[in-house]
């Protein structure tokens, strides 16, 4: 089933142009988004007081990646909940809330317990899952199957990008009654259409990411700085590195750099800075300057053609990625980091598809 690939994770990373195509199949027609699983519920969702995203691990990160454009396209405030933390706090959930549960397997115990809790509190419960017939799919009032195909590697890759695309379609569908955002919605829909070919292009960085991995083999730690749409990319990139390559890694909000992380910067600690084009670009340029002035060892991810705009020649290593609509850029930007985590794992000699101590689906609390 792995075909010409050595590992399922590798196969699933390279399969993403196809899995994203199946996520969107039949759902984008004549500039409109059609989500059969939500259409009866859109009116209720539009009237809700807030959207609460709930998930664990990579699925939580995907929801975080969707948060900004859901707020932008719907005007509804979005709050984020790690499922176990919502349960620990018994945090308030109201009848007027739309609770969106994100889970690849649809069987994660903490997420399902949070679902029971939200159902008891009377919220409208929406599922975003890869698994038809899963407990999450059955118990939610409605939802969207992401249709990414079966994911076998314990480290989630193709489900992450399909979850973001499914939530982008959800945001477009909820916001589709707003005239003022019509042009923006059209631009995102055309971005979705071109996404699979952009993903094919960014996958060509495979050899470059293997080379980068070989330079990081003996590092003890790796930081990843992102902000805005790509804060989630930083968290998810770092999660991939820690869960499969067994290297300490932290994703950080670049805006928090001066409030602690800056103390760690020296010539040895590798730091990835995500600085692709969006409204936060100039802020990221200044973050890079501050890190370079402290002799930080930087790897900068930027949009194609921006290498000299992000750092002076020779001062840092650059990963150039193709540009898409800003809110879809996280789908592109995570892919080099998935490739990096994969190669780092192989080069360090660890088990790619069955990382130490982890399970694909955590069905106990």
Q: Note the residues at the interface with Na ion (CB under 5 A).
A: 140
Which one among 35, 56, 238, 319 touches ligand BG6, defined by CB under 6 A?
Answer: 56
Contact between 152 and ligand BG6 by CB under 6 A: the answer reads no
At a CB cut-off of 8 Å and minimum separation 6, what does 234 contact?
A: 224, 225, 226, 251, 252, 253, 254, 272, 274
CA dihedral sign of residues 2, 105, 159, 139: positive
37 binds, among ligand UD1, ligand BG6, Na ion, none (CB under 5 to 8 A by kind): ligand UD1
36 binds, among ligand UD1, Na ion, ligand BG6, none (CB under 5 to 8 A by kind): ligand UD1
d(C-alpha 127, C-alpha 120), whole Å: 16
At a CB cut-off of 8 Å and minimum separation 6, what does 183 contact?
A: none
Q: In what order do the strands lie in the sheet with 317-321?
A: 248-253, 221-226, 270-275, 297-303, 317-321
Contact between 172 and ligand UD1 by CB under 6 A: the answer reads no
Between 140 and 338, whose beta carbon lies closer to ligand UD1? 140
Which one among 111, 230, 276, 345 touches ligand BG6, defined by CB under 6 A?
Answer: 111
d(C-alpha 108, C-alpha 8), whole Å: 21
Question: Looking at 182-293, which runs of residues are DSSP E strands?
Answer: 221-226, 248-253, 270-275
Contact between 57 and ligand BG6 by CB under 6 A: the answer reads yes
Two tokens at 198? Answer: 């952009």
Residue 119 burial class via C-beta count within 10 angstroms: exposed 0-12, middle 13-18, buried 19 and up? middle
Which one among 6, 31, 32, 36 touches ligand UD1, defined by CB under 6 A?
Answer: 36
Between 135 and 276, whose beta carbon lies closer to ligand BG6? 135
Which one among 142, 173, 195, 310 touches ligand UD1, defined by CB under 6 A?
Answer: 142
φ, ψ dihedrals at 297, nearest 5°:
-90, 95
Q: Which residues pair with 145 in a beta bridge?
A: 129
Contact between 137 and ligand UD1 by CB under 6 A: the answer reads yes
CB of 146 to ligand BG6, least distance (A): 10
Contact between 22 and ligand BG6 by CB under 6 A: the answer reads no
Between 105 and 230, whose beta carbon lies closer to Na ion? 105
Between 143 and 226, whose beta carbon lies closer to ligand UD1? 143
CB of 254 to ligand BG6, least distance (A): 24
Interface map 319-348 toward ligand BG6 (x if CB under 6 A): ------------------------------
Which one among 103, 249, 276, 284 touches ligand BG6, defined by CB under 6 A?
Answer: 103
d(C-alpha 298, C-alpha 249), whole Å: 15
Which one among 23, 156, 233, 345 touches ligand BG6, defined by CB under 6 A?
Answer: 156
d(C-alpha 14, C-alpha 8), whole Å: 10
Contact between 140 and ligand UD1 by CB under 6 A: the answer reads yes
Of 200, 195, 168, the closest CA to residue 184 belongs to 168
CB of 208 to Na ion, least distance (A): 43
Of 29, 28, 1, the closest CA to residue 15 belongs to 1
Which one among 10, 16, 23, 58 touches ligand BG6, defined by CB under 6 A?
Answer: 58
Residues that bind ligand BG6 (CB under 6 A): 56-59, 103-105, 108, 111, 154-156, 358, 360-362
Interface with ligand UD1 (CB under 6 A): 36-37, 127, 129, 132, 136-137, 140, 142-145
């Amino acid at each position: 089933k792995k075909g010409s690939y050595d590992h399922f994770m590798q196969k699933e990373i390279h399969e993403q142009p196809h899995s994203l195509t199946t996520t969107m199949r039949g759902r984008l027609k004549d500039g409109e988004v059609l989500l059969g699983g939500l259409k009866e519920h859109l009116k209720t969702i539009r009237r809700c007081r807030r959207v609460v995203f709930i998930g664990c691990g990579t699925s939580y990160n995907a929801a975080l990646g969707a948060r900004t454009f859901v707020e932008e396209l719907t005007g509804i405030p979005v709050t984020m909940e790690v499922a176990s933390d919502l349960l620990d706090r018994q945090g308030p959930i109201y009848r007027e809330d739309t609770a969106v549960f994100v889970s690849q397997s649809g069987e994660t115990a903490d997420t399902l317990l949070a679902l029971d809790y939200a159902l008891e509190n009377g919220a409208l419960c929406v599922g975003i899952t890869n698994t038809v017939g899963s407990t999450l799919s059955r118990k939610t009032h409605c939802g969207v199957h992401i249709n990414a195909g079966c994911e076998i590697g314990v480290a989630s890759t193709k489900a992450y990008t399909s979850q973001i695309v499914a939530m982008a379609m959800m945001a477009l569908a909820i916001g589709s009654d707003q005239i003022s955002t019509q042009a923006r919605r059209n631009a995102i829909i055309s971005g979705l259409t071109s996404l699979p070919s952009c993903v094919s292009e960014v996958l060509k960085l495979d050899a470059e990411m293997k080379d980068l991995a070989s330079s990081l083999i003996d590092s003890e730690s790796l930081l990843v700085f992102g902000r805005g749409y790509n804060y989630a990319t930083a968290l998810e990139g770092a999660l991939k590195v820690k869960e499969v390559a067994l290297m300490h890694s932290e994703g950080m909000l670049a805006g928090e750099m001066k409030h602690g992380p800056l103390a760690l910067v020296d010539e040895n600690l590798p730091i990835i800075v995500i600085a692709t084009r969006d409204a936060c670009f100039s802020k990221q340029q200044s973050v890079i300057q501050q890190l370079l002035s402290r002799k930080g060892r930087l790897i900068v991810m930027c949009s194609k053609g921006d290498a000299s705009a992000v750092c002076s020649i020779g001062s840092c290593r650059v990963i150039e990625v193709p540009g898409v609509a800003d809110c879809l850029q996280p789908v592109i930007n995570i892919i080099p980091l998935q490739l990096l985590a994969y190669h780092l794992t192989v080069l360090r000699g660890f088990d790619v598809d069955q990382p130490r101590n982890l399970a694909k689906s955590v069905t106990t609390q």
